[in-house]
Chain A
Amino acid sequence: MKTTIDATPEVAQNAPVNPRRRVYRPNAKYIPILATLVLLLAMYVGGLANLAHFDDPRVVVNLFRDNAVLLVVAIGMTFVILTGGIDLSVGAVISLTTTLTATLLQGGWPPLLVLPLVLVLGALLGSGMGAVIQYFKVEPFIATLAGLFLARGLALYINQESIPIRDKLWVTLSDLRIPLFDGVKTTLIAVVALVVVLIAAAVLAWTRFGRNVYAIGGSADSALLMGLPVARTRVLVYTISGFCAALGGVLFTINSTSGHALQGAGTELDAIAACVIGGVLLTGGSGYVFGTLLGVMVFGLISTIINFQGDLNSAWTRIVVGILLFGFIVLQRLVTRRAR
């Protein structure tokens, strides 16, 4: 494929070669990701230069542990945004999953039954919203907003308090440490999140379903005319998002061995922001899972740096996150604009 795209047009063979063409230019579709990557590295190097103990490899390893939930949710969101949709319900699905998991475990349900149950419930909620969006032509923003109210309402109805988890399996998984190198260890949830990233990237890059997702995001009408299974694919991306949100909720209960109905509030916007920072276009059809990964890392690195700084109260934390988000988005915007 590459050779056909790079082949010089006939006119250019007779005309003198434009000297600007010799400059290396990355493929235009990779520029947003490269911009994010460069800015992320710049932030990390800035942290190395200015903060003590920032060079500890655990800083990077802990990024994955601390942002595992957001990462998994953002991956599901990537699928939805790639089709040109949006899923506002993920934060509420996290709430519902953590509350339900904790309540069922407290009630003495076998953990190996609870785990698949909540995951299937999340997937079902997602496919329900996807079906409403696909078959009744309700706008994704509204259908998933209704999903948000429904899931958060169910969570609050089940229990409004924080519920501790004493289940043996959950405690074991929570305490599990996986050695990496030089005595650096990480948690199970970080590994699970990374596995989800790899699976999602493979699905989008190499499967027929992945190509359908991009096709629908490019133009749903064209995809339909091409004979692609638009309905099935669209319902499936919301199912994936719901499943990922439920998995995020489970990871949260494993990490904190507790469940709370207000947990996960606002995660949907963090996930959307992470996707956008990573170069996934909200209009659909363009973006990569690794971009989302980088976006989540940016979010994580912002709060890590603020933690290292140490002397900021909660009000300032929000403001600094906002300022950094602003700087980041504007910089990325400038970089990508020049490239076009």
Chain B
Amino acid sequence: MTILKNRLFWPIAILVAMLIVNVFTSHQFLTIHDGHLFGTLIDILRGSAPLMLVALGMTLVISTGGIDLSVGSVMAISGAVACLLIKDLSDQNAIGAVLLIVAVAIGVSALLGLWNGTLVAVVGIQPIIATLILMVAGRGLAQLITDGQIINVQSNPYASIATGFFLTLPVAFLIAMAAVALTAVLTRRTALGLLLESVGGSPAASRLAGIRARRITMMVYVVSGAFAGLAGLIVSADIKSADSIHAGDLIELDAILAVVIGGTALIGGRFSIIGTVIGALLIQTLTVTVVGVGVPPKATLLFKAVIVVALCLSQSPVFREKVFGRFKSRPAVRAEVTA
């Protein structure tokens, strides 16, 4: 019974169920091909990388009681910056130069995150509104960088960020996993996670307790920006071009959903990184499964809505109590009454 009560039980159960469906519906679920793993499962891992990165940053932001709506725009800007710089290279396949450009794009994204963090922590604007500004203006900025065009690049090192394989696993997934591991170690093996949750619980109280609440709040937005930038690079490397209008469109809602599915409360003060990873995998698997099962594309969103509603209700303790409560025997309560 304790397993059933775990917040992650239903998300994991649905994830596993959908993966099993995929075993039967996909041509190749998991095989070895050209020396690396191949199949639907690998597609899911590769495709979930951008969402996982964005959701990871979002988890930290939400743990401090904030929210970051600008991640989609930051992704567009990051991809635009990278593609613009790579296009101007004399040799687009020079690994060193591409790595430097990747670093520059992530740096720009972190700066955009710093802007969000400053608005929230220093100026004191509500997070949803502070990040709304960059969400609106950022896509315009990205369009300005690309001059309204889609910039195509022919760089193999850049493309390998999204499509490459290392140790038989997709590079994009490994990048996301590295980010997850780094964040998990920093927040769970140091006091950082505790400080985050403290700021999320009450910024004023944590400041009085000697925690630099303002600095920590700014930091989470910087991290969120940098991760979104990395996600933007993966998305743009996947199509070898920068699409300033569609890159990261509506990803903030999927990311928030992934965070909530993973059991992080939107009011802050508590977070689960492994939960977010499962949430992101769940959303990506859902997207792949819906197509694989043969649901017509125009009904995809409807299908997604039904799953989301079912999942959110299954996580609601009140709903469980009201619907499943009557089927359970209640020895604990009875014992109390008789005693």
A residues contacting B by CB (< 8 A) are 88, 132, 135-139, 141-143, 145-146, 148-150, 152-154, 156-157, 160, 269, 272-273, 276, 282, 313-319, 321-323, 325-326, 329-330, 333, 337
Q: Give the contacting residue for A138; candidates B128, B256, B313; CB below 8 A.
A: B313
Residues of the B chain whose Cβ atoms lie less than 8 Å from the Cβ of A314: 140, 143, 148
Write out the residue numbers on chain A whose beta carbons fall within 8 Å of the beta carbon of B309.
132, 146, 150
Q: Name the A residues within 8 Å of B302 (CB-CB).
A: 149-150, 153-154, 156-157
Q: CB-defined interface of B299-319 with A at 8 Å, one 1/0 digit per residue?
A: 111111110110011001111
**What are 27 A-B residue pairs whose CB atoms fall within 8 Å in the complex?**
A88-B253, A132-B313, A136-B318, A138-B316, A139-B260, A139-B266, A141-B260, A142-B257, A145-B257, A146-B308, A149-B305, A150-B305, A154-B302, A157-B298, A157-B301, A272-B129, A282-B126, A282-B129, A314-B140, A315-B143, A317-B140, A319-B137, A321-B140, A322-B136, A326-B119, A330-B123, A333-B125
> Number of contacts between A and B (CB, 8 Å)?
126
Q: Is the CB of B137 within 8 A of A146?
A: no
**Chain B residues in 8 Å Cβ range of A145:** 253, 256-257, 308
Bound CA span A264–B312, Å: 25
Given A321-B136, A329-B129, 11 more pairs with CB closer than 8 A: A149-B302, A153-B299, A153-B301, A153-B305, A156-B302, A160-B298, A273-B129, A314-B143, A322-B133, A322-B140, A329-B130
Most-contacted residue by chain B among A135, A141, A160 (CB, 10 A): A141
With A272-B128, A273-B132, A337-B124 already in contact, the answer to whether A146 and B140 are too (CB < 8 A) is: no
| Residues of B close to A319: CB separation below 8 A | 137, 140-141, 144
Label chain A's interface by main secondary structure.
Answer: helix
Task: List A contacts of B141 (CB < 8 A).
Answer: 315, 319
CB-defined contacts of B316 to chain A, threshold 8 Å: 136-138
CB contacts (< 8 Å) of B298 on chain A: these are 156-157, 160
Of residues A137, A315, A316, A337, which shows the largest number of chain B Cβ atoms within 10 Å of its Cβ?
A315
User: A148 contacts which chain B residues (CB < 8 A)?
Assistant: 253
A318 touches which one: B139, B253, B312, B322 (CB < 8 A)? B139
Bound together, the chains give a CA A317 to CA B137 distance in angstroms of: 9
Q: Which residues of B contact A321 (CB under 8 A)?
A: 136-137, 140
A316 touches B257 (CB 8 A): no
How many residues from B make CB contacts under 8 Å with A?
46
Select the residue from A139, A317, A337 with max chain B CB neighbours within 10 A. Answer: A139
Name, among A316, A317, A326, the residue most crowded by chain B CB atoms within 10 Å (CB to CB): A326
**Contact bitstring B155-177, A, C-beta under 8 A = 1, else 0:** 00000000000000000000000
In the complex, chain A residues whose CB is within 8 Å of the CB of B136: 318, 321-322, 325
Bound Cα distance from A135 to B318, whole angstroms = 8
- Measured between beta carbons, the chain B residues less than 8 angstroms from A138 are 312-313, 316, 319
- Which residues of chain B (243-295) have a CB below 8 Å from chain A? 253, 256-257, 260, 265-266
**Is A315 within 8 A of B144, CB to CB?**
yes
B113 shortest CB reach to chain A, Å: 16
B151 interface residue, CB < 8 Å from A?
Answer: no
- Please give the residue numbers on chain B whose beta carbons come within 8 Å of chain A beta carbons, in ascending order: 69, 119, 123-126, 128-130, 132-141, 143-144, 148, 253, 256-257, 260, 265-266, 298-306, 308-309, 312-313, 316-319, 322
- CB <8 Å contact, A329 and B124: no
> Shortest distance in angstroms between A313's beta carbon and chain B's nearest beta carbon?
7
Partner of B135, one of A136, A149, A269: A269
Residues of B within 8 A of A154 (CB): 302
In the complex, what residues of A have CB within 8 A of residue B134's CB? 322
B119 / chain A contacts, CB cutoff of 8 Å: 326
Residues in A neighbouring B139, C-beta threshold 8 A: 318
With both chains docked as a complex, state the minimum distance between the C-beta of B160 and any C-beta of chain A, in angstroms.
Answer: 31
Contact A330 B125 (CB under 8 A): yes
Query: With the chains together, A142 CA to B62 CA distance in Å?
Result: 14
Q: How far is the CA of A26 from the CA of B124 in the complex (A)?
A: 23
Q: Assuming A141-B256, A322-B136, is B301 touching A315 (CB within 8 A)?
A: no
**Once bound together, how far apart are the Cα atoms of A21 and B69, in whole Å?**
43
Check if B148 sits within 8 Å of A315, measured CB to CB.
yes
Say whether, besides A153-B305, A318-B139, A318-B140, A143 and B69 are in contact (CB < 8 Å): no
Tell me whether A325 and B148 are in contact in the complex, defined as CB-CB below 8 angstroms, given that A150-B302, A316-B140 are known contacts: no
B308 and A333 contacting across the interface, CB-CB below 8 Å: no
Closest residue of B by beta carbon distance from A337: B124
| Neighbour of A333 across the interface among B124, B128, B133, B137, CB < 8 A | B124
**Shortest CB–CB separation between residue A271 and chain B, in angstroms?**
11
Residue pair A156, B123 in contact (C-beta under 8 Å): no
Interface residue from B129, B253, B260 paired with A276 (Cβ < 8 Å): B129
Residue of B nearest to A140 (CB): B266
Given A149-B305, A314-B143, A319-B141, the answer on whether A157 and B135 have CB atoms closer than 8 Å is no
**Closest Cβ neighbor of B315 among chain A residues:** A138
Q: Are A276 and B69 in contact (CB under 8 A)?
A: no
| CB-defined contacts of B265 to chain A, threshold 8 Å | 139
Chain A residue nearest to B265 (CB atoms) is: A139
Q: How far is the CA of A139 from the CA of B316 in the complex (A)?
A: 9
For A326, list chain B residues within 8 Å (CB): 119, 133, 137
Q: In the assembled complex, how far is the CB of residue A324 from the closest CB belonging to chain B, in whole angstroms?
A: 10
Query: Hey, which chain A residues are within 8 Å of B266, CB to CB?
Result: 139, 141-142
